[in-house]
A and B are shown apart, each in its own frame.
Chain A
Amino acid sequence: LPPLSSDEDENVAKTYLMKFYDLTNETDSDLHRGVHQMTLKLKEMQQFFGLEVTGVLDSNTLEVMKKPRCGVPDLAE
């Protein structure tokens, strides 16, 4: 599915991953090492929900993020 590019969608995804997948703000060292937390966390989330694991924010992934749900993180802290 085509990746989504809207800033609003990106923000929805970022907020969701921070709440439920322990996404933290990327540090300079993350970027230096080529580690993109957002991609890793998206993959974790896609795997959890049985979506195709791409690490890319597509319409299916966003659709799942917008469903009503429990506020407990999916990956226990």
Chain B
Amino acid sequence: GEDTVSSELQKPLGPAAFNLSEYFKQFLFPQNECELHDFRLSFSQLKWDSWIVAPHRYNPRYCKGDCPRAVGQRYGSPVHTMVQNIIYEKQLDDSVPRPSCVPAQYSPLSVLTVEPDGSIAYKEYEDMIATKCTCR
């Protein structure tokens, strides 16, 4: 990014609109990058608490944010992600989107439900809580 910064510096500085420290901050601390977010859900909100007895609260989490251009190992992204990024940036094909921020790992969830016939089921389901995000 050095040449980017130097070319920026050559531009005439508008006193009111340009704050150097703010400008540098966006490079040092990436904003809105792909990361895991909490989302606490209670089944009573969905009016499902009559048949989902436990857990009372469920935090499925979700992934949201921008995928940096050179993802590399920090996200555990495959090489394919970089190739897709290049196709997107070179606009080789409009239908190819930028890589997305999606869950990469999950943990299971135990659920206690009352079945329609009145019996009670304890079940353990795979992949119900996102624990890690990736770009791909």
Q: Do A and B bind each other?
A: no
Write the residues of chain B forming the contact surface with A, with a CB cutoff of 8 angstroms: none
- Interface residues, chain A, with chain B CB atoms under 8 Å away: none
